[in-house]
Amino acid sequence: MKSGRNTKSAVAGIFLCLMAATLFAADTNGPAILPWPQQVTLRAGAFKLTPQTRIYVDPASRPTATFLTARLRQSTGYPLKTRTKFFSARAIEGGILLTTRAANTNLGPEGYELTVAPDSVVLRAPTQAGLFYGVQTLFQLLPPEIFSSNVVQAADWRMPCIQIEDWPRFRWRGFMLDVARHFYNRQQVERILDAMAFQKLNRFHWHLTDDQGWRIEIKKYPKLTQVGAWRAGVGFGLDPKSTTAYGPDGRYGGFYTQADIREVVKYAAARHITIVPEIEMPGHSTAALAAYPQFSCTGGPFSIPLKGGVFNGIYNPADEATFKFLDDVLTEVFQLFPGQYVHLGGDEVPQDTWKNNPACQALMKRDGLTNEDELQSWFMKRMEKFVGAHGRTMVGWSEILKGGLASNAVVMDWIGGATEAASSGHDVVMTPTQFCYFDYYQSTNRASEPLAIGGFLPLEKVYSLEPIPADLPEQYAPHILGAQGNLWTEYIPNLHYAEYMIFPRLTALAEVDWSPDSARNFDDFSRRLQVEFQRFAELGINYRPNLTNVPTATLTQ
């Protein structure tokens, strides 16, 4: 899609570097950039950051420059001055330029071009997102201490001379957090957004509702959070002390107010992350039906489960009141989340409830639906129309293919369906369990790992994912939007443990999503990861330190 270098955008002076080496693949001793860029040319020499270094920026790019200077100030202590007045190429000598002016539009909506020379650093991108990603790369050219939250006196703040042209391979570079099974508060979610931005990820899939909890305030239905956000205990057989998410009455849980959500959306947008909210239906809805049992087939009562599994909290499609409720809920969701995509779940529907319900059976007869898969499809198609009428796009799990896929739906493939969906013109996000489920164990030595849901997903396996299915005819490949890591949190009651499960597997997935597949090299990735671990340490991010199937306990002692 993008090619060639816009030589006009190169600033005079960059060729002062004497030697150059183009790194076609990430298989050298190049800098620890993660994910590895599309094109890298390493040169001799370095740019040294000093207290006098000026930041030059066009006015529209100021927020991105502020993001840069705030981080640099924390760790270097340098009060770097920013200039937005007219600047010429010559005037930036000794400085760092961030601009969208004269940027190569072939770099695309998230690409950037970064040139580090001994006397200047020039970062150009057609968009603010591209500039933001260029800033992330710039941080990675500096010592890991750049991520320190305190001033580091002894550090040598040099960047190697380099020329980078970079853009992502995929548009959807995602991470999903399940906040229903265990609750992560606003500050914790923002911490994860910070880590995502740092890895150039751009979609946060927020799994806000499930059987075990409803986490989003809906003004029209206050019981969703008054009842649905709380359960009798932490559940899942876990130690009650493994979490602090208890309400004043001792119940476990929590929820986001609409004000919280607006703040998180803003926080994400400032990091070029779009939030994809998920409101589960028709199954995985026990918490909602504990609050409003009138929208179920049986009338309830429901209690919020303290364990995992498939529960009979399923909406009643035979009652119009159910759709009025769901439409009202989504109307508030649309007001809170400006992004294009809204995820409506659709997975693991316990259809027996519908099978045994005379009203559901009558509805099927009326509409000529021959089985419950078709009823499920009828349900999701109806919701997809509502979502579409509001100018949004519905996303659903693999099962939305069963019984017929709604016309504009995006499929999130966890147990298959990508090829079928993409070759019929639907967009697809890849989250196959065997590569993308970060709730799986990271070692077969289970006794040495914290309790997990099961499975085995080592780092190298995540890294080996090819998002485009091998059996997908090439012309449909553009329908594969990208890949996403999912963290289901049944056995993950706190952020410290969540980070251990996320990192560095998400770092591997970020490289799958961003870097050219020809640059994929696990040995070199592992080498760069050692530097990434130093950055994680500076940032206070917990991670699994060993890359192989070795008991963590042995290595950390």
DSSP 102: T
Active site residue 210: yes
Decide whether 200 or 284 has the Cβ nearer to ligand ACM: 284
Q: How far is the CB of 31 from ligand ACM (least distance, A)?
A: 37
At residue 242, φ and ψ (nearest 5 deg) are: -75, 0
Decide whether 328 or 348 has the Cβ nearer to ligand ACM: 348
Active site residue 284: yes
Decide whether 332 or 347 has the Cβ nearer to ligand ACM: 347
Q: How far is the CB of 348 from ligand ACM (least distance, A)?
A: 5
The single residue listed with the structure tokens 């485009």 is 468
Decide whether 31 or 174 has the Cβ nearer to ligand ACM: 174
CA proximity to 34, closest of 460, 512, 501, 541? 512
Nearest 5 degrees, angle CA 429-CA 507-CA 42? 115
Residue 557: partners with Cβ closer than 8 Å, 6 or more residues away: none
Q: How far is CA 499 from the centre of its chain?
A: 13
C-alpha–C-alpha distance, residues 318 and 34, integer Å: 51
Decide whether 111 or 174 has the Cβ nearer to ligand ACM: 174
Do residues 295 and 225 touch, judged by C-beta distance below 8 A? no
State the first-to-last Cα distance of the chain, in angstroms, to the nearest integer.
Answer: 48
C-alpha–C-alpha distance, residues 309 and 286, integer Å: 12
Q: How far is the CB of 3 from ligand ACM (least distance, A)?
A: 38
Nearest 5 degrees, angle CA 454-CA 455-CA 458? 125
Q: How far is the CB of 313 from ligand ACM (least distance, A)?
A: 14
Do residues 36 and 519 touch, judged by C-beta distance below 8 A? yes
At residue 236, φ and ψ (nearest 5 deg) are: 55, 20
- Count, in order, helices (H) and strands (E) of the chain: 17, 22
C-alpha–C-alpha distance, residues 184 and 243, integer Å: 10
Q: How far is the CB of 431 from ligand ACM (least distance, A)?
A: 8
Nearest residue to the partner ligand ACM, using Cβ: 347
Decide whether 39 or 489 has the Cβ nearer to ligand ACM: 489
Q: Is residue 397 a contact residue for ligand ACM (CB under 6 A)?
A: yes
Print the binding letters for residues 130-169 with ligand ACM: x by CB under 6 A, - otherwise: ----------------------------------------
DSSP three-state, residue 526: helix
Q: Does 79 sit behind a cis peptide bond, omega within 30 degrees of 0 on the bond before it? A: no
> From the candidates 348, 373, 374, 460, which is the catalytic residue?
348
Q: How far is the CB of 275 from ligand ACM (least distance, A)?
A: 18
Distances 77 to 48, 108, 116, 120, 142 between C-alpha atoms, Å: 15, 34, 22, 20, 15
Amino acid at 527: R
CA proximity to 465, closest of 496, 495, 501, 505? 505
Pairing of strands 341-345, 274-281: parallel
Do residues 31 and 137 touch, judged by C-beta distance below 8 A? no
Pairing of strands 96-99, 55-57: parallel
Print the binding letters for residues 498-537 with ligand ACM: x by CB under 6 A, - otherwise: ----------------------------------------
> From the candidates 210, 278, 511, 513, which is the catalytic residue?
210
Q: How far is the CB of 543 from ligand ACM (least distance, A)?
A: 23
Q: How far is the CB of 491 from ligand ACM (least distance, A)?
A: 14
Return the axis-axis angle of helices 372-389 and 320-336, rounded to nearest 10°.
Answer: 40
Decide whether 43 or 205 has the Cβ nearer to ligand ACM: 205
What number of chain residues touch ligand ACM (CB under 6 A)?
A: 4
DSSP per-residue letters across 97-113: EEE-TT--GGG-TT-EE
> From the candidates 182, 205, 284, 479, which is the catalytic residue?
284
Distances 391 to 59, 259, 342, 388, 397 between C-alpha atoms, Å: 32, 23, 11, 5, 20
Q: How far is the CB of 390 from ligand ACM (least distance, A)?
A: 24
Which tokens is 386 given?
């509502």
Task: Give residues 405-424 in contact with ligand ACM (rule: CB under 6 A).
Answer: 414
Decide whether 217 or 413 has the Cβ nearer to ligand ACM: 413
Q: How far is the CB of 347 from ligand ACM (least distance, A)?
A: 4
Print the binding letters for residues 346-365 with ligand ACM: x by CB under 6 A, - otherwise: -xx-----------------
Decide whether 128 or 433 has the Cβ nearer to ligand ACM: 433
Cβ count near 350 (within 10 Å): 17
C-alpha–C-alpha distance, residues 389 and 404, integer Å: 20
Active site residue 348: yes
Chain positions contacting ligand ACM, by CB under 6 A: 347-348, 397, 414
Catalytic residue numbers read: 210, 284, 348
